Amino acid sequence: MQDKVSREIRTKVTSAGEVELSIASVEMPEPKEDEVLIRVEAAPINPSDLGLLLSFAADLSSIRTQGDGDETVTSMPIHPRLMASMKPRLDQSMSAGNEGSGVIIDAGSNARDLIGKTVGLAGGSMYSQYRCVAAANCLVMEEGTTSVEAASSFVNPLTALAFVETMKMENHSAIVHTAAASNLGQMLVRICKGDGIPLINIVRKQEQVELLKSLGAQYICNMSETSFMEDLVSALSETGATLGFDATGGGNNGELPGQILAAMEIAANRAAKEYSRYGSDTYKQVYIYGGLDPSPTVLKRAFGMSWGLGGWLLTPMIGKIGMEKFQGMRLRVAREIKTTFASSYAQEISMREMLQPEVIRAYAKQATGEKYLVCPHT
């Protein structure tokens, strides 16, 4: 800290049609009276980070680097047909990283009592060595919590809790979740088990089935099995689930959201007392909250006329929940960060390693159970 310089990852889409990743040196920020200075020690690479970091339009088959160490610049071309959507950010060097954690090393006059505390936050620009933020934005962890444990204290935990709040607000009683073996999916299993909420977990590998069983999950449907739809309908009949959250957006050749709706319709009709040409009157809702699979979403209309398919995003949902309940959710995360909201990572990497082609391809895969953690001081 003696040199008063902080290093951070920058991403830029150039007018020449490329995404450039680099490491920039910036002046060390000074905290104002209600601010704190955090030594960032861990920041996950979430799927939501990749939209800014790599733009979702980059051609990862043609990555090249020049320079070395902190002078490395990594470039990859943008698919030409997607360049028009990049216009608002052309030639702007932007910092990245939605969330992370670290230790408060300095503070303004109104926040001096926080010095030395380990905190988590979603402050943006978290692929940085130091961040200066409002003290109120920090989630103070309990004594003994490490920065690695606290790194994913916002996006996944609050999304999982907000799924449950959505269920309650929209008068559903059970949940269907895809990509269910992810860190977020495991959190949701623990939440629902503890809160007594029926949860149907959809995965695509047998080892993921075994993982969720070890956590106590009751309903697990494997897309790779020929009995997938039959198993899903059976679970829906038992639980009465009419609300789904899909992380893929196009899983199972783009058909997964539609398959969930169709299975809900079959389950509803099993309990129907009379036939209707318009399908069941049970309302069925699936929200797409991620894009793990870039395939088009395909709907084969076999689920009547009482259904909905839409997007879901955490930030607007927080507004609906209200700040009082949201603060309660944050405090629960801090209390249970080592249990209910525990995260695991495939690999811890430095900022320099973030720029290496083979590492970029690995974290860009967004593979379930293979999340990367950036350690800016490594």
pLDDT in tens, 116-126: 999 999 989 99
- The larger pLDDT score, comparing residue 29 to residue 46, is at 46
Amino acid letter, 276: S
What pLDDT score does 118 carry? 98
What pLDDT score does 368 carry? 86
pLDDT in tens, 307-340: 999 999 999 999 999 999 999 999 999 999 999 9
Domain 5-152+343-374 CATH class label: alpha beta
What pLDDT score does 341 carry? 98
pLDDT in tens, 43-63: 999 999 999 999 888 999 999
Domain spans in the chain, listed from the N-terminal domain onward: 5-152+343-374, 155-318
What pLDDT score does 275 carry? 81
The answer to whether residues 110 and 33 touch, using CB atoms and an 8 Å cutoff, is yes
For the cut 70, the answer to whether the pLDDT of residue 138 exceeds it is yes
Evaluate whether 5-152+343-374 and 155-318 have a shared fold. Answer: no
Read off the pLDDT of each residue in 165-177 and give the average, rounded to a whole number.
98
The position carrying tokens 């829906």 is 236
Token pair of 200, please? 């149907």
pLDDT in tens, 14-26: 999 999 999 999 9
- Using CA atoms, how far apart are residues 131 and 70, in angstroms rounded to an integer? 19
Largest Cα–Cα separation, the chain: 77
- Using CA atoms, how far apart are residues 155 and 177, in angstroms rounded to an integer? 16
The position carrying tokens 């936050």 is 121
pLDDT in tens, 226-284: 999 999 999 999 999 999 999 999 888 899 999 999 999 999 998 877 888 888 999 99
Confidence category of residue 1, pLDDT binned at 50, 70, 90: very low
What pLDDT score does 314 carry? 96
Token pair of 371, please? 């999340």
- The larger pLDDT score, comparing residue 344 to residue 4, is at 344
For the cut 70, the answer to whether the pLDDT of residue 190 exceeds it is yes
Total residues found in the chain within this entry: 378
From residue 27, give the alpha-carbon distance in Å to each of 8, 233, 336: 11, 57, 36
What pLDDT score does 3 carry? 66
For the cut 60, the answer to whether the pLDDT of residue 2 exceeds it is no
CATH code that applies to domain 155-318 = 3.40.50.720
Q: How far is CA 37 from the centre of its chain?
A: 25
- Using CA atoms, how far apart are residues 35 and 135, in angstroms rounded to an integer? 5
Amino acid letter, 8: E
Mean pLDDT of the chain: 95
